[in-house]
């Protein structure tokens, strides 16, 4: 029975993160619908998405992704030995990070024009658009400080098995942007400034919501500024390579954005909206699983329980495949009606729908790779190895650039999406190969068998909804029709999975049952 405890805690934690992430993604789509309605895919929208992409990417590199990967294992081990020492370590990190990121923000604000000349290359020939992008970048950069501090609290709470408020906090960002866009848009000379207000307010709320829960767990703030402390030095040493290892997908997407600025107007927005859609299943399932996986694997690695680590990784990845593969297939088949019903309002035209759906098709190809990278990288970080993932990530980044240059001309924005998908998939397979060598195996036969069965069930689902869409619903793009198709897809997939006797269905359903029963109690 003891052997099953880590697995149960992982799936319960993952289900908590997944449920709150689902809520966040729903509000995220409402946010995107509002933004698309008011700004469409025109120059003002492109300028905002470029400006927001910079601090948002740095958040992934210096804070939320890489910092958590380095901080959680160290904080976990320190808390096991001495909880007071762990909280002092957290306070030291909070103060040090505040000072460092404030300095980075000031430098970025000063040198924003130079920064954007290397990023938004295609905007330099359009002075007004370029200046707007520079101004928006300067205004949005403080978001990096707020969300980075929030990430430290998220890491602390996750380590202490509190997953709900960190997972729910992005809802506040989405609500803030929706509110600001709808109610403040007409108060500015340029309506796009309302988005800036929403982002900054949302970042503050994401930080503020974590603090009461941390206090409840015993954290009390004290000014500790010891940047030379051993644990801070270890954080820095682990974070530098972790920056590339855990955030390779974000780095690749950033390269895509830079190159998209060289393409026709709207290309940056097509990439953004398509990326938002593909992030829905990835965030709900892939990120949720990796978030819950890191603390559990850190404990198992510390105890040198190699057999349990292999079992945990295998079950977690197979459960992720069980949810991600049908999502990938369903999103591909229903991409155009989904894009049209969510985004095609106001300034977002039918041409925008077609181009976004075209780009989304190529992102779908890499959905399993995007999710898999997050899971397998977590295993390396749990073992204290951040160097191996960075080497693989560096190779994947070079491949992404090569694929971009080959594919962007014939496929436009879709080529950039395909390049990201291909490089991320190669990244995942390389991680799996090296991790298998490190652990002496990775339950490969069971993983491949599950993948084959899941693929069969997903293709059965795709065939069913494709036939039904063209016959029963006549291909009409309506909310009722799309809802019916999604329900039919779930029914066909679960039915096929039951016929094939997929064991992964038991893991997922058991986690949900425990979650629901816990709520009733």
Tell me the HSE value of 262 on the side-chain side, using a 13 A CA sphere.
Answer: 14
The whole-number pLDDT of residue 198 equals: 94
Confidence category of residue 478, pLDDT binned at 50, 70, 90: confident
The whole-number pLDDT of residue 457 equals: 94
Q: Provide φ and ψ at 113, rounded to 5°.
A: -60, -45
Tell me the HSE value of 467 on the side-chain side, using a 13 A CA sphere.
Answer: 8
* Over residues 352-374, mean pLDDT: 91
Domain tally, the chain: 1
Summarised one tens digit per residue, pLDDT across range 135-173 is 999 999 999 999 889 988 988 887 787 777 777 788 899
* Over residues 493-509, mean pLDDT: 82
The whole-number pLDDT of residue 518 equals: 46
How many C-beta atoms surround the C-beta of residue 520 within 10 A? 5
The whole-number pLDDT of residue 60 equals: 65
Summarised one tens digit per residue, pLDDT across range 318-354 is 988 998 999 999 999 888 888 888 888 777 888 888 9
- In angstroms, how far apart are the furthest CA atoms of the chain? 67
- As a residue count, the chain comes to 521
Summarised one tens digit per residue, pLDDT across range 40-56 is 656 777 788 888 877 87
* Over residues 512-516, mean pLDDT: 52
| Rounded-to-integer distance, Cα 379 and Cα 383, Å | 7
**DSSP designation for 222:** -
The whole-number pLDDT of residue 511 equals: 55
Check whether 74 has a pLDDT greater than 80. yes
DSSP track, 369-404: HHHHHHHHHHHHHHTT--HHHHHHHHHHHHHHHHHH
Highest mean pLDDT among 23-32, 245-254, 351-360: 351-360
The whole-number pLDDT of residue 466 equals: 83
Model confidence, pTM? 0.69
The whole-number pLDDT of residue 76 equals: 78
The whole-number pLDDT of residue 242 equals: 64
The whole-number pLDDT of residue 453 equals: 93
For 99, the domain range is 2-520
The whole-number pLDDT of residue 508 equals: 63
| Rounded-to-integer distance, Cα 184 and Cα 175, Å | 13
* Over residues 402-406, mean pLDDT: 93
């Amino acid at each position: 029975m003891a052997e099953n405890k880590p697995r149960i805690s992982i799936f319960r934690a993952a289900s908590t993160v997944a449920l709150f992430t689902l809520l966040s993604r729903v509000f995220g789509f409402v946010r995107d619908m509002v933004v698309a309605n008011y700004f469409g895919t025109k120059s003002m929208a492109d300028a905002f998405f470029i400006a927001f992409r910079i601090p948002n990417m740095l958040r992934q590199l210096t804070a939320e992704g890489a910092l958590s990967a380095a901080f959680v294992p160290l904080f976990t081990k320190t808390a096991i030995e001495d909880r007071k020492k762990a909280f002092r370590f957290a306070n030291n990190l909070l103060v040090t990070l505040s000072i460092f990121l404030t300095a980075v923000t000031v430098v970025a604000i000063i040198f924003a024009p130079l920064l954007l000349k290397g990023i938004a290359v295609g905007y330099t020939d359009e002075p007004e658009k370029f200046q707007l992008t520079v101004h928006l970048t300067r205004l949005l950069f403080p978001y990096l400080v707020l969300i980075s501090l929030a990430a430290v609290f998220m890491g602390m709470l996750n380590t202490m098995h509190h997953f709900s408020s960190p997972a729910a906090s992005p809802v506040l960002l989405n609500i803030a942007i929706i509110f600001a866009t709808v109610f403040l848009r007409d108060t500015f000379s340029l309506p796009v400034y309302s988005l800036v207000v929403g982002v900054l307010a949302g970042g503050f709320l994401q930080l503020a919501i974590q603090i009461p829960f941390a206090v409840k767990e015993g954290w009390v703030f004290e000014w500790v500024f010891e940047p030379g402390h051993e644990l801070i030095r270890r954080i820095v040493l682990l974070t530098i390579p972790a920056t590339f290892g855990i955030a390779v997908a974000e780095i690749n997407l950033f390269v895509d954005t830079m190159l998209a600025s060289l393409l026709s107007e709207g290309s940056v927005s097509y990439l953004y909206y398509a990326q938002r859609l593909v992030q829905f299943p990835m965030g709900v399932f892939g990120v949720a699983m990796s978030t819950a996986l890191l603390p559990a694997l850190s404990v198992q690695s510390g105890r040198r329980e190699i057999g349990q680590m292999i079992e945990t990784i295998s079950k977690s990845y197979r459960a992720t495949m069980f949810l991600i593969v049908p999502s990938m297939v369903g999103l591909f088949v229903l991409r155009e009606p989904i894009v049209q019903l969510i985004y095609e309002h106001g300034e977002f035209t039918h041409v925008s729908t077609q181009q976004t759906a075209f780009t989304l098709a190529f992102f779908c190809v890499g959905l399993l790779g995007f999710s898999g990278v997050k899971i397998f990288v977590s295993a390396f970080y749990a073992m204290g190895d951040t160097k191996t993932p960075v080497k693989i990530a560096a190779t994947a980044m070079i491949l992404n650039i090569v694929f971009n240059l080959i594919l962007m001309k014939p496929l436009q924005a879709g080529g950039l999406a395909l390049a990201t998908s291909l490089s991320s998939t190669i990244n995942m397979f390389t991680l799996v190969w090296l991790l298998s060598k490190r652990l002496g195996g990775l339950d490969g036969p069971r993983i491949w068998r599950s993948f084959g069965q899941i693929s069969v069930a997903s293709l059965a689902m795709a065939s069913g909804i494709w036939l039904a869409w063209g016959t029963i619903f006549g291909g009409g793009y309506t909310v009722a029709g799309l809802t019916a198709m999604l329900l039919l897809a779930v029914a066909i997939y679960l039915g096929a999975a039951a016929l094939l006797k997929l064991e992964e269905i038991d893991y997922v359903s058991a986690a949900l049952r425990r979650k629901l029963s816990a709520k009733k109690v």
